[in-house]
Structure 1
Amino acid sequence: MKHQDRSKLIGQMRGSDFLQLDPGQAPHRGRTTWLADRLRSAIADGTLKLGAQLPATRVLAAELSMARGTVADAYQRLTEEGLLRTNQGGGTVVAAAPAIPDAPVTPPDTERGTRLFDISSGMPDLSAFPRAAWLRAERQVLATATSDELGYADPQGAPRLRAALAGWLARSRGVAVAPERVIVTAGVTGALSLLAQVLRDRGITSCAVEDPGAEGNRRILDYWLDKLTPIPVDEHGLDVTTLAASGERAVLVTPAHQFPTGVVLSPQRRRDLHTWADERDGLVIEDDYDSEYRYDRAPVRALHAAAPERVVHVSSLSKVLAPALRMGWMIAPQQLHEELVRKRWATDLGSPALPQLALAELIESGALERHLRSLRLRHRERRDAAVRAITEHLPGCAIEGIAAGLHLVVRIPEGADDAKVAEHARDAGIAVQPLSRHRFEPGPPGLVIGYGPHPSPRLEQAIATLGTLLRQ
């Protein structure tokens, strides 16, 4: 066969025998993510076993009619996750299975002995945790940490991390504060627990909360305080008129991306909330939930920026890195700052110093922002896949909260019992949250679906199952 004939045939090749990869299934944009997802799934389900060798990037790129850089980037992504290893002269091989499978499962259901495909929470893709970057940060910290940094840390957090967070918040959230005002906490949960105790010491034993609202936050506040007052949420966010009539002096809100409805607190409601705080000597607790992920809307500044002495800003990097780090922060009005730091000291002397320094290194090096940009692309593709699947398999059901975040809400037909739908889904092997679980008062039924951790094909399959259940 002549050289030009062979070239012509190679140019017509479509697909690879390796994992039966068909480039026709890849989106026009996001081919790197598509290929990385396919490889990761094959490693997770055992198709690619430990030590298995992958094709050379040049070879696989030719077979898939893709740019070699696309394949190399996919390999690099999995190498940073610790799943692949490049040997000197020996090609690229599988180094480990995902520590967090692409299809996360809950522990076995004690009543049924089954394992569930979990779309019940707004988690990120934890398999994408930047393992290599984190290891580099830890090595750098261990090589350079001073004796002071290895001693007892300041209870409000390592100075280096507080400085890094102050810069990060100024760039990303419009929160301009000195590092001395940042208090490092054990995630948002640790911040709310600490704040609730200080408020109780000051005689504030109740708090207003959104309805519907995040069940986890509600449980923490309910543990420390005597009463929680539900305030309705509509398409503009928290109903501030109802808040003003409640007589409460503190309120917890998720203004950037309300959980679970996904609405953004409107500009007018933001102004009304600040007015309420000024007139009632009120305190706004701003859980900056899901602020890192937005796809189809303009950025929204944090509430704290407009009223720093009326707003307690709390957040974490659980949705960017991993909840396992238990790393968050709080910025409080000056009048509360010293009490909060003293309470943190009395509780546990503060967070472990070495992870704080590693996180500071990750922020200072730019690795955190690069990781976040990659996650935004990945999560957007999965959001789009979830919307397509819902449109196909749950026709007529409204979809809300898709402009940002890691979850969406599907409004199911009036009269349906979302708790029963979730129960039937569990019987079918799928964990999904009923919207009613996050309500105080009865309201329209719905399902809360988290799409962040799941490759598109498995997510689409789970939604198809939900559609079958609803039709039944």
Structure 2
Amino acid sequence: MLPVTLDRTSAEPLPAQLAGQVRALVLAGTLGTGDRLPSSRALAADLGVSRAVTEQAYDQLTAEGWLEARRGSGTYVTASRTTTTAAPQVTSRPTRLTPRPTGATSRLDTGTPFFDPRLEPGWRRAWREVSVAAPPPGYDDPRGLLELREALAARLGRTRGLDLHPDEIIVTAGTTDGLRALLPELRPGPVAVEDPGYRAAAETVLTYGREVIDLPAVETAGDLGDAVAAYVTPAHQHPLGRVMPAADRLALLEAARRADAVVIEDDYDSEFRYDVAPVPAMARLDRGRVVYLGTAAKSVVPTLRLGWLVAPPDLHELILRRRTITHAGAAWPSQRALLTLLRDGWLDRAVRSARRVYAERAPRVAEAMSPYATLAGPLAGMYSTWLLPETDARRARDAARAAGFEINLLSTYARSSGLTGLVIGFGGVTDAELDQALAAVTGALGA
């Protein structure tokens, strides 16, 4: 029997309690790689709960890569502290972007979220409140509005499992702004960036005069060399969609410890899982080694230009000092509007609405694309990535353009990986537009 105790009076669901306690046992070394867990039926009987509780907990931990189910054998631990040598401490040239072609009317990209028109009244109400609120008389707190940081701390605790004090949060003008705030405070050296990966991150690193080291997105990072930081998207790898397995997370943290580097976690769309609960933030594993970046771009709109940064104390102080001197900070009107959206529950409703839409559209994309290409990762978020030869991908891309749709090539996200295919977003289009775009793509691939 596992040494776990469930609290039925807690507001936290029983499956989440069980998953969290099993995860803690693995991290503490109580459960090691290869250990066999009780069956879901046996564990349910031991705990006096329904089997659905244990099955949901096992499914969540399997999706995160902590466990694996072996057909006819049972459920086993796949990652533990024994896979690393020490436990983490808890405390090129710029890419030329292809211009948008003339005549393209809709973008099926990775960054345009679904906006539910039924939420427009709440959106307008937030900006009316901005219009009557008194702005700060001078430069605002470089950390951001205190009320907003309080609301963000509560939300990150509830949705990402991060126990934060508001003063640990710095409100930024988005993910790349957070990266720009961090890079000058790191010691000299290159930065490892996932390949394929987020193009804006690699470009930002290069802009600050640092070398970019390609970090293979589908391999375990066992050695960071002389890199001073490693930029990753562990909850939903951009753009392959892969969830970084638990063992790979621990290995990356250990590699960062050996290199005296930091891990930069870009947690850009973790709320949009359809199959299991959102994968916990990597920062939960080592707050002293991970710099956490979040954004409102995928849950609200990209043009709000707001994000947040949580850094280890030494880096936090350096970043805050520079922002104070340079008067850097996110725009007050946007911060004030986001505060209202959070307080009114608008953001929660927006996320739930978008998640329902994505959960319906993702299988439609999969059904259309599966005969012609291979899905690169699990269905989650507002896009899916499909592996196929570059010649086929370009033919499909060109057919979509001719029909009035812009779809990105996977090769534009890659530097040395050589992966090719299509990255198909489905957040910023209507259902009818999505069907038209898929018809154009599959027509070209089937020709």
Letter in 2 for 1:240: A
Post-superposition CA distance 1:439-463 (Å, at most 9, x none): 1114342100001122223212211
What SS class does the counterpart of residue 125 from structure 1 fall into?
Answer: coil
Rounded to whole Å, the distance in 1 between the matches of 2:362 and 2:273 is: 11
Alpha-carbon shift at residue 408 of structure 1 (Å)? 0.2
* Structure 2 residue aligned with 1:115: 104
Q: Deviations over 1:246-305 (max 9, x none)?
A: 331210000000011100010101111222222221100000021120011332111111
- AA aligned opposite 1:270: R
Separation in 2, partners of 1:300, 1:247: 29
Instruction: Verify: 1:462 aligned to 2:437, yes or no.
Output: yes
SS of equivalent residue, structure 2 residue 212 = strand
Indicate which of 240, 243, 254 corresponds to 1:261: 240
Describe the SS at the equivalent of 1:312.
strand
Contact 1:261 1:409 in 2 (8 A): yes
Match of 2:220 in 1: 239
Matched, 1:398 2:382: no
Out of 268, 273, 276, the position equivalent to 1:289 is 268
Task: Specify the structure having the higher radius of gyration (Cα).
Answer: 1
For the pair 1:208 / 2:192, whether they are aligned, the reply is: yes
**Aligned to 2:193, what secondary structure does the other structure show?**
strand
Structure-2 separation of matches of 1:441 and 1:129: 44
Q: Specify the alignment match of 1:187 in structure 2.
A: 174
> Against the structure 1 CA distance between its residues 433 and 146, is the aligned structure 2 distance closer, same or farther, given a 3 Å change threshold?
closer
> Partner of 1:408 in structure 2?
384
Following TM superposition, by how much is the alpha carbon of 1:319 offset from its aligned partner in structure 2, in angstroms? 0.6
Name the aligned partner's letter for residue 426 of structure 1: R
Partner of 1:160: 147
- 1:316 matched residue in structure 2: 295
In structure 1, the residue corresponding to 2:217 is in which secondary structure? Answer: strand
Offset of 1:117 from its aligned partner?
3.1
Deviations 1:307-344 (A, max 9, x none): 11111000111111111110111000101112111222
Partner of 2:185: 198
Distance 1:420 1:385, change over 3 A: closer
Confirm or deny: 8 A CA contact 1:231 1:239 kept in the other structure.
no
Distance 1:166 1:376 in 2: 22
How do 1:360-375 and structure 2 match up within 5 A?
Answer: 360-375=339-354
Deviation at 1:177, TM superposition (A): 1.2
Helix, strand or coil for the counterpart of 2:150?
helix
2:20 matched to which residue of 1? none
Q: Secondary structure at the match of 1:130?
A: helix
Helix, strand or coil: the match of 2:126?
A: helix
Shift, 1:464, TM fit: 1.5
**What is the match of residue 303 of structure 1?**
282
- Looking at structure 1, the residues matched to 327 and 420 of structure 2 have their Cα atoms a distance apart, in angstroms, of 42
CA contact (8 A) 1:175 1:305 kept: yes
Task: Read off the aligned partner of 1:153 and give its amino acid letter.
Answer: D
- Find the counterpart in structure 2 of residue 430 from structure 1: 405
Distance 1:296 1:191 in 2: 30
CA contact (8 A) 1:418 1:436 kept: no
Distance 2:166 2:213 in 1: 34
Quick one: structure 1 residues 317 and 210, their matched pair in 2 at CA, closer, same or farther if it must change by over 3 Å?
same
Q: RMSD across aligned C-alpha pairs, in angstroms?
A: 2.3
Match of 2:204 in 1: 220
Mapped partners of 1:142, 1:248: distance in 2? 46
1:245 shift after superposition: 5.2
Tell me how far apart the structure 2 counterparts of residues 379 and 285 of structure 1 sit (CA, whole Å).
27
Whole-Å Cα distance in 2 between the matches of residues 107 and 245 of structure 1?
Answer: 34
Cross-structure match for 1:350? 329
Tell me the equivalent position of 1:21. none
Give the TM-score normalised by structure 1.
0.69
Matching residue's letter, 2:200? G
What are the Cα deviations for residues 197-245 of structure 1, in whole angstroms up to 9, with x where unaligned? 222xx32x310011111112211111113210001122xxx5212xx15
Q: Please report how far the alpha carbon of residue 388 of structure 1 lies from its aligned counterpart in structure 2 after TM superposition.
A: 2.6
Compared CA separation, residues 146 and 460, structure 1 to 2 (3 A) = closer
Counterpart of 1:466, as a letter, is: V
Output the TM-score relative to the length of structure 2: 0.73
- The answer for unaligned runs of 5 or more in structure 1 is 1-105
Pair 120,364 (structure 1): closer, same or farther in 2 beyond 3 Å: closer
Please tell me the residue identity of whatever aligns with 1:408. S
Rounded to whole Å, the distance in 2 between the matches of 1:219 and 1:420 is 27
Say whether 1:174 aligns with 2:161.
yes
- Range that drifts further, 455-464 or 444-453: 455-464
Displacement of 1:157 in angstroms is 0.5
CA offset at residue 404 of structure 1?
A: 1.4
Q: Which residue of 1 aligns with 2:123?
A: 134
2:231–2:266: 8 Å Cα contact kept in structure 1? yes
How many angstroms does 1:366 deviate by?
Answer: 1.8
Could you say which residue in structure 1 is the equivalent of 2:43?
none
CA shift digits 1:113-152 (9 cap, x unpaired): 4234321334211464833213323444555x467x4543
Contact 1:150–1:353, Cα closer than 8 Å, also in 2: no
Say whether the 8 Å CA contact 1:198–1:339 is kept in structure 2.
yes
Which of 425, 429, 448 is the equivalent residue of 2:423?
448
Deviation at 1:415, TM superposition (A): 6.6
Paired residues of 1:191 and 1:329 also in contact (CA < 8 A): yes
Residue 317 (structure 2) pairs with residue 338 (structure 1): yes
Q: 1-side partners of 2:201 and 2:394: how far apart?
A: 20
Q: What residue ranges of structure 2 are gaps of 5+ in the alignment?
A: 1-97
Give the partner amino acid of 2:426: Y
Structure 1's 457 and 142: CA in aligned 2 closer, same or farther, altered over 3 A?
closer
CA distance in 2, matches of 1:146, 1:386: 47
